[in-house]
Structure 1
Amino acid sequence: MGKNVSRRDFIVGSGVFGTSAAIAGLVGCAPRSRADASDASEKKGKDRSPSSQLIEVDEKDVARTEDCDVVVCGSGSAGTFAAIRAAELGARVIWLEKTNLKGGTSTVTEGTLAYNTQEQLDAQGPVDLQAEFESYMQWHNWGAYAPGIWCYLDNSGQALDWAISHGASMSTGGQGSLLSCFDKEGNWVNNGEGMLKPLWAYGETLDNLDFRLESPAVNIILNDEGVGGVYAKCGDDLVRINAKATVLATGGFGKNPEMCAERLRVPSERVVFLGFDGQDGDGINMALAAGALPQAPSAVMYGLSKACGESWSSMLSIFTQWPPAYRYPLEIGKTLPMVNQSGKRFYNETLAEDADTSRLNTAIASQAKAFTLFDEAHVEAYEGEDKLNEFVAFMGVGSGELRSLVEGSDFVWKADSFEELAELMGVDSETLAATMEDYNNRAKGDGSRDPFGADPALMTPLEKKPFYAVQVEACAYSTCGGVRGDYEARAVGHNDLPIKGLFVCGIDNGSMQFNDYPYGLHGGSGQGAACTTGYVAATAACKDLGLA
């Protein structure tokens, strides 16, 4: 296998979306003057307008009616697997994507968790799926929907093997169950390059697959038996698409502020959702209108928190917010103190966030403002390439990059005392000074017990001037609560019965959730479940049609 390309360089420097600006412009706070920066966490997100395209439909406005076997709404991993698999089995498929970008956020995802692919069986033998089921259910306090989890566990290996058989360049590298994508030279690439593009190329060979960009489903068609298709806006025309099976895979509701405000357990305007437009909840709302039951509506797929004004993979985010397990070497990677708008600590900073990303994000979003503090010693520690060889190899870190970002950010403040720093941050100077005196004493081993349960051995004393504060914010890849889907990804209605003709896939299907996404425990399961539910829904729909 060839040399791995830097994941960071690929995500924010090249790849599907060209330049770092393409990604950075989609996430985080817009740069502001320093005078305005302290208000960023309250202002961000409020200018996001709802992207929902659902409308009330009057049949007299319908320009034309089309008929197909399967209509698929959404072109991410779930929609891709559903549309192409259904067409391969012989169904006449109309495939709708509301935006002008095929694949959506799935194009930039990194890994896919799947169980018992042929490669895994050959290398390691079968995974104990019962143990995995119990692990998922325990994480979610046994509130997840068991048939939906078993849909994923039993079928993910088959779904990914299908993709690999059609050109997806995916492998576990002989270890574990997380598949990554590689190009012909063995360089790592993301799912857009390694999985979706080969499948799309195969789909273009299928004459019975009709794919349409900028063609949103705007309402669902209900009949006496269940669901009979969707209304869609295709160009200037309102089109009635009659379908024997309707697959909803529209990607959650992270870009719909009204739904976020209604459903999230923290103030939603304080959470930045990464990814692209189109995550407006339309698929979920159409399924609910058809009588589907909601499942885990508040569940969020949190990532790692980040510095305001920066991308998720900026060095400023990485070296102030990422957990110790991601910092190399660990002796310079102890956790940093965090304070809120009052200059007080609010969290156990020594928790390992790679295990549970919802904790820190929930804590940050529960504060009106949040800041991470560090000192000159911390900046110096991450400056020398001799100390960063392991991290350089993985993420493409350059010497001097952290200092450059620290000095250029509108969301970083610098002073020679904590009192002066507090004034720049807009917090009470006496309170911050007292907070940091208490923190430093404990971090240096005064033997006192931390009121938040932090381990003093993992706390980093801040002693070398100047001192810095960076405003930080909670961020998430997407929401992951939706509606219930059963073992065949059929939408489940009242009395636990499937709704005829309706399938829910990807993160429109919330079956695997109750608490927030298990980032550390089952990282990659979001993509794995998307691929699996799309594949399973297509197979089940074609079985109904007598094609499978």
Structure 2
Amino acid sequence: MGKNGTRSWSRRDFLKGAAAGTVSVAALGAMAGCSPQQTSSGASEPTASTEAGSYDVMKELSTFNRGEKPDAKAPATPEEYITMKGDGVLSAGGGCDPLGIKPADFMLNKPAWLGDAPEVTDIADTEECDVLVIGAGNAGTTSALRCQEEGASVILAEMQTYDEYDEYACDMACYNSKLFLDKGTPEIDATEVFNEYMRLSRGHAHQKIVRDYATRSGEMLDWLTGHIPAEYVEKYAKTSNYKGNENFNGECCGQKSWPAMTQWRDEETNINMWPFVIRSVHTAFEEAGGAIKWGYQGVVLVQDGDAVTGAVFQDVDGAYHRINAKAVVVAAGDFGGNPDMRLDLADTMRNLAWSYGNDRTDASSIGGMGRDGSGIRMCLWAGGTMEGGPRAGQSCGINGVPGFAFGGAWPCFGNDGKRFMNETMVKHGSNGYLDMLPEGQLLVNVTDANWEEYLSHQGFGHETMDRSSDYMVAEVRENMANYKTGKDGFDVRAFSRFGKEYSTVYAADTLEELADIVGYSGEAKESFLAEVERYNELCAKGHDDDWGCDPQNLLPIKDAPFFASFGTTGGNPSGGLCQHAAVCTDGGYRVLTGDKQPIPGLYAAGNTCGQRYGIQYATPTAGNSCGSALTSGYCAAESVIADLA
């Protein structure tokens, strides 16, 4: 495992750090080969025959929160929810065990993990509705509620039980929402947002889907908060960075970013409240006349010819139920928790593992988190296709340097004491080369007494302190003011994580003492001191001749006390979070066949809907994965209603 200072990293640390988007090389590197619900022995024996493509894929459905905790009780109040969440660690459930696919069955036209659509004849009952939505996460919930409000009769089916329901959504970026504009945030040119996302996707994303997100996410958030109790919005909705970083010019190294992220936090505990708050949206849906089927695992879509006319579900007791509908929206999440789908489909992850000499046919060689891919498989059985590659997986191969507890992009020095990168290019989508560092490489971030002023020059992505979160800013200031010099370091609140987490920061009165603390000696120490001097000369010049740091972030390391955050690489590639690659859709979120014709009656939203990011997740504003998912459900509902009319 990699180490940050003297501390080992675990999956628990990874999930908490992932919420912040500032996970260190050590933390992400340590995750390679790990996945939710993965067996300790790696691949298991095939569950059916070993004939190519004949594995029993129904054995590979998630059981996450489907009766695992018979004594579970859904929280009825925010206080009960906070108590239940404990220290606030985010959930990463929803995955499943590998099938044990043999190399000969790998990468087939009919993949072994897909096989044939199951035939279910023992149906306990059948219900009818206008619109069936599969998945009660962000995308499915917004889609179901909007369709119901537009006059359709809607059934929302969720594989988790009501009492066990949880999700790992946290940040949501939504542009030009009233929540921000009412606080004085300038209106953002949504066409600039759209163009930035398309540039970052290198044109591989679907322009209509990306434009919907850029231009309508604020509208969606305002509509959504109208269905959430006002006291929850007032108490928990934190509009991050709305005060802005007064010295940031809006662009860093050609990458634009904007203040638009909302987080739902309890100030006393800092726990992510969205998994509780979204229950009030479920209630609003039911009060509007919709019905929710809890514990309904989607099994297969029902078709009349090519048209999709419903779906079959299995409840937690094993009984099968059929729901007929005029339109079906599949919002059942990604395939990041399915080891076999991840191995076959996530080509960037598979080949990144291979670049480390790992077995590219071994499902345990690449890690990840997320759902079981059942929604995507149902769409493929109905005639849908997966989007093209590269399929990177969210943040796969994208490590960040260790970073300070309060965020920020800082001068970074390597194993030999020398700078080795442009530190201002730290957003998702720009640091993949850090995965190529060997194990045990020392990475050191350094700043000085002017650390908070320096933060005011940095952007709105994952790389900076949220200066509008006064309750956290105050504690960080207090921690830094009460610094302790020496090798033991001192605790500073980990700014962007959920729950009250702290990270170790090291302080010294001189740069020589700081070099000793982080582990530089001999030639490496001499190089470090010379490199800081060189860096300060470049700051005075206003141009980084060595690595091209953005001039607005060229701020010298000159005033004591001096601070450091450091870690060592884990020697493994970062496996990524959930998967954004999914089924092909048109501009109306209709699932497409191989000849790019819509399948009548079938729509996809959220992480079941592909082409949202093209080649890699990117964050001009932190939290756009959830914001994009919510918006896709909102807009998919619009297409459904229009088609039904």
What is the TM-score of this pair, normalised by structure 1? Answer: 0.67
Alignment of 1:146-161 (within 5 A): 146-161=207-222
Alignment match of 1:285 (pick from 354, 364, 377): 377
Secondary structure of 1:480's partner? coil
For the residues of structure 1 that align with 2:243 and 2:532, how far apart are their CA atoms? 41
Q: Residue 336 in 1 paired to residue 412 in 2?
A: yes
**Is this contact kept in 1: 2:228–2:277, CA < 8 A?**
yes
Alignment match of 1:227 (pick from 300, 303, 308): 308
Alignment match of 2:489 (pick from 403, 406, 420): 403
Alignment of 1:298-317 (within 5 A): 298-302=391-395, 305=399
- Distance apart, 1:105 and its partner CA: 1.8
Secondary structure of 2:211's partner? helix
For the residues of structure 1 that align with 2:546 and 2:216, how far apart are their CA atoms? 42
1:201 aligned partner: 283
For the residues of structure 2 that align with 1:88 and 1:440, how far apart are their CA atoms? 64
For the residues of structure 2 that align with 1:466 and 1:536, how far apart are their CA atoms? 46
For the residues of structure 1 that align with 2:197 and 2:408, how far apart are their CA atoms? 23
Secondary structure of 1:295's partner? coil
Alignment match of 1:453 (pick from 539, 544, 547): 547
**Is this contact kept in 2: 1:114–1:525, CA < 8 A?**
no
**Is this contact kept in 1: 2:264–2:274, CA < 8 A?**
no
For the residues of structure 2 that align with 1:467 and 1:78, how far apart are their CA atoms? 38
For the residues of structure 2 that align with 1:296 and 1:38, how far apart are their CA atoms? 26
2:322 aligned partner: 240
2:421 aligned partner: 348
Cα distance change, pair 301–466 in 1 and its aligned pair in 2 (3 A): closer
CA RMSD in angstroms comes to 5.4
1:517 aligned partner: 617
2:639 aligned partner: 540
Q: Residue 48 in 1 paired to residue 38 in 2?
A: yes
Amino acid at match of 1:283: G
For the residues of structure 2 that align with 1:96 and 1:253, how far apart are their CA atoms? 18
- Distance apart, 1:78 and its partner CA: 0.6
Structure 1 residues 252-297: Cα deviation after superposition (integer angstroms, max 9, x where no partner): 23323333333142436787656xxx52322233323333343355
Q: Residue 70 in 1 paired to residue 126 in 2?
A: no
Amino acid at match of 1:226: A
Q: Residue 531 in 1 paired to residue 521 in 2?
A: no
For the residues of structure 2 that align with 1:87 and 1:441, how far apart are their CA atoms? 66
Alignment of 1:243-392 (within 5 A): 243-262=325-344, 263-266=346-349, 267=352, 273=368, 278-295=370-387, 297=389, 298-302=391-395, 305=399, 318-319=403-404, 322-324=407-409, 334-338=410-414, 348=421, 350-353=423-426, 356-360=427-431, 362-367=432-437, 369=439, 371-374=441-444
Q: Residue 443 in 1 paired to residue 535 in 2?
A: no
For the residues of structure 2 that align with 1:465 and 1:165, how far apart are their CA atoms? 45
Q: Residue 97 in 1 paired to residue 158 in 2?
A: yes
More deviation in 344-353 or 89-98?
344-353
For the residues of structure 2 that align with 1:102 and 1:38, how far apart are their CA atoms? 27
1:507 aligned partner: 607
**Is this contact kept in 2: 1:110–1:191, CA < 8 A?**
no
Secondary structure of 2:411's partner? coil
Alignment match of 1:496 (pick from 592, 596, 613): 596
For the residues of structure 2 that align with 1:322 and 1:177, how far apart are their CA atoms? 16
Amino acid at match of 1:541: V
Cα distance change, pair 368–117 in 1 and its aligned pair in 2 (3 A): same
**Is this contact kept in 2: 1:151–1:486, CA < 8 A?**
no
For the residues of structure 1 that align with 2:271 and 2:36, how far apart are their CA atoms? 34
Amino acid at match of 1:487: G
**Is this contact kept in 2: 1:111–1:191, CA < 8 A?**
no
Cα distance change, pair 289–182 in 1 and its aligned pair in 2 (3 A): closer
Cα distance change, pair 476–117 in 1 and its aligned pair in 2 (3 A): farther
Cα distance change, pair 480–46 in 1 and its aligned pair in 2 (3 A): closer
For the residues of structure 1 that align with 2:160 and 2:611, how far apart are their CA atoms? 26
1:6 aligned partner: none
**Is this contact kept in 2: 1:28–1:272, CA < 8 A?**
no
- Choose between structure 1 and 2: higher helix proportion: 1
2:201 aligned partner: 140
Cα distance change, pair 538–256 in 1 and its aligned pair in 2 (3 A): same
More deviation in 394-403 or 496-505?
394-403
Cα distance change, pair 239–154 in 1 and its aligned pair in 2 (3 A): same
Q: Which segments of 5 or more consecutive residues in structure 1 lack a partner in the other structure?
A: 1-20, 30-36, 308-316, 325-333, 383-387, 423-428
**Is this contact kept in 1: 2:266–2:272, CA < 8 A?**
no
Cα distance change, pair 502–516 in 1 and its aligned pair in 2 (3 A): same
Structure 1 residues 506-547: Cα deviation after superposition (integer angstroms, max 9, x where no partner): 12222231132221x24343223222221222233233334x
Q: Which segments of 5 or more consecutive residues in structure 2 lack a partner in the other structure?
A: 1-9, 19-26, 40-59, 61-94, 98-113, 245-257, 354-363, 452-464, 493-501, 506-512
For the residues of structure 1 that align with 2:367 and 2:379, how far apart are their CA atoms? 26
Amino acid at match of 1:319: F
Cα distance change, pair 405–251 in 1 and its aligned pair in 2 (3 A): farther
- Distance apart, 1:487 and its partner CA: 2.7
Secondary structure of 1:265's partner? helix
Amino acid at match of 1:241: I
For the residues of structure 1 that align with 2:439 and 2:433, how far apart are their CA atoms? 11
Cα distance change, pair 403–231 in 1 and its aligned pair in 2 (3 A): farther
For the residues of structure 2 that align with 1:378 and 1:174, how far apart are their CA atoms? 23
1:330 aligned partner: none
Secondary structure of 1:221's partner? strand
For the residues of structure 1 that align with 2:266 and 2:557, how far apart are their CA atoms? 44
What is the TM-score of this pair, normalised by structure 2? Answer: 0.58
2:66 aligned partner: none
Structure 1 residues 60-102: Cα deviation after superposition (integer angstroms, max 9, x where no partner): 3444433332222222211110122222333333322223443
Cα distance change, pair 323–39 in 1 and its aligned pair in 2 (3 A): closer
Cα distance change, pair 279–460 in 1 and its aligned pair in 2 (3 A): farther
Cα distance change, pair 257–68 in 1 and its aligned pair in 2 (3 A): same
Amino acid at match of 1:352: M
Aligned residues: 475
**Is this contact kept in 2: 1:163–1:195, CA < 8 A?**
no
For the residues of structure 1 that align with 2:365 and 2:197, how far apart are their CA atoms? 28
Amino acid at match of 1:294: M
2:472 aligned partner: 394
Structure 1 residues 210-250: Cα deviation after superposition (integer angstroms, max 9, x where no partner): 231x3221233343133222222212212233322221212
Amino acid at match of 2:603: F
**Is this contact kept in 2: 1:41–1:368, CA < 8 A?**
no
**Is this contact kept in 2: 1:246–1:503, CA < 8 A?**
yes
For the residues of structure 2 that align with 1:57 and 1:84, how far apart are their CA atoms? 30
For the residues of structure 2 that align with 1:319 and 1:135, how far apart are their CA atoms? 27
Cα distance change, pair 190–444 in 1 and its aligned pair in 2 (3 A): same
**Is this contact kept in 1: 2:582–2:608, CA < 8 A?**
yes
Structure 1 residues 321-371: Cα deviation after superposition (integer angstroms, max 9, x where no partner): 9442xxxxxxxxx333345xxx89995152331xx22322x2343446364
**Is this contact kept in 2: 1:151–1:489, CA < 8 A?**
no
